[in-house]
Amino acid sequence: MSPSAKRISLKSLMYVSYTHADFDKTHRFLSDFGLIPTKTLPDKIWYRGFGESPVCYISQRADHGKPEFLGGGWAVDSYQDLELAAKLPGATPISEAESPIGGKTVTIKDPSGGLVHLHWGHEERTVGQQDKPKTLVYNTWAEKPRKGEFQRFEDGPSHVHKLGHYGYEVHHDVFQEVRQWYFDNLTLTATDSLFNPATGKDIMTFCHLDKGEQFVDHHNFFISAGDSKDCIAHHASFEVDDFDSELKGHNYLEKRGWQLVWGVGRHLLGSQIFDYWFDNDGFVLEHYADGDLVNCNNPPQREPAEPDSISIWGPNVPLAFLTRKQEDMGKFLPAGPPSAAA
């Protein structure tokens, strides 16, 4: 049962779900990004990483050609958590989840319209040694454990481990309400927040799973304040196995003709080494490595929203990263399909 009678106990983040205007082109991008198809239908593909989650990305063919973000999927700790979720206003009844996830599921909706898909009773993947990328051994100035062996890499995508986090931009008038909804209904709690120096009001909050003394990712979910009246997907972020894999994937996506958003750099909050890319519909996907872990002994922090609070090193943050309005995406995407990926 949930630690709090009021809150749904989240076990882990599983996947994000999108519809795409050019379904086949999206498949090329996601494959070049490093996601692995695990079930393929004519209008829907489920993808995974090399980690335990059976799915980390769901792609569907868009109705009438309009791409949409359909929310994030989470595993919960018990069937009672699904029963608790089903009692929330606007929740779906408990139902059978599609293969390759399986088990039971409920979908709930936050006050801005963001969808949260909850799952229980599914089977996680057994990760064998054949699934895991080779662990790199680094020689530093102080210690040189790699002796008589060489660093050799094959050209290709990054090795995606799992979905690490995703987030929304909502209108600044409802930011506080939506953030509080996540705190009140799900076992999410604040890690770091950015505030507007002029007003002192929070405009972005990074949230981690509330698991007490257990260490968890710095954030699995974030929410930011903007001018759009709609709830807009900001980005979804996928952990890769190491920094070399991330840079290898960066070069591979570049060679395949896809559009870079921002990277490579090092974040301040969360410490991740980041690399952001546009898919063919203007949605942003991130590779990251070397993120922070936190627990209940890390109290929430607040920082002013300034350039230095975004990254420690890397390129200047571009406008393409700051705006998430779908109508603006055409300013940043190439006019034609990537020649190398076509």
SS (H, E, C) the chain: CCCCCCCECEEEEEEEEEEECCHHHHHHHHHHHCCEEEEEECCEEEEECCCCCCCCEEEEECHHHCCEEEEEEEEECCHHHHHHHHCCCCCCCCEECCCCCCCEEEEEECCCCCEEEEEECCCCCCCCHHHCCCCCCCCCCCCCCCCCCCCCCCCCCCCEEEEEEEEEEEECCCHHHHHHHHHHHECEEEEEEEECCCCCCEEEEEEEECCCCCCEECCCEEEEEECCCCCEEEEEEEEECCHHHHHHHHHHHHHCCCCEEEEEEEECCCCCEEEEEECCCCCEEEEEECCCEECCCCCCEEEECCHHHCEEECCCCCHHHHCCCHHHHHHCCCCCCCCCCC
pTM: 0.93
What is the model's pLDDT at position 142?
Answer: 97
What is the model's pLDDT at position 27?
Answer: 98
Q: What is the pLDDT along the chain (342 residues), one digit of tens a residue?
A: 344 458 999 999 999 999 999 999 999 999 999 999 999 999 999 999 999 999 999 999 998 878 999 999 999 999 999 999 999 999 999 999 999 999 999 999 999 999 999 999 999 999 988 889 999 999 999 999 999 999 998 999 999 999 999 999 999 999 999 999 999 999 999 999 999 999 999 999 999 999 999 999 999 999 999 998 889 999 999 999 999 999 999 999 999 999 999 999 999 999 999 999 999 999 999 999 999 999 999 999 999 998 778 899 999 988 878 765 544 544 555 544 455 444
What is the model's pLDDT at position 290?
Answer: 97
What is the model's pLDDT at position 323?
Answer: 63
Domains with residue ranges and CATH for the chain: 10-122+163-331 (3.10.180.10)
What is the model's pLDDT at position 307?
Answer: 78
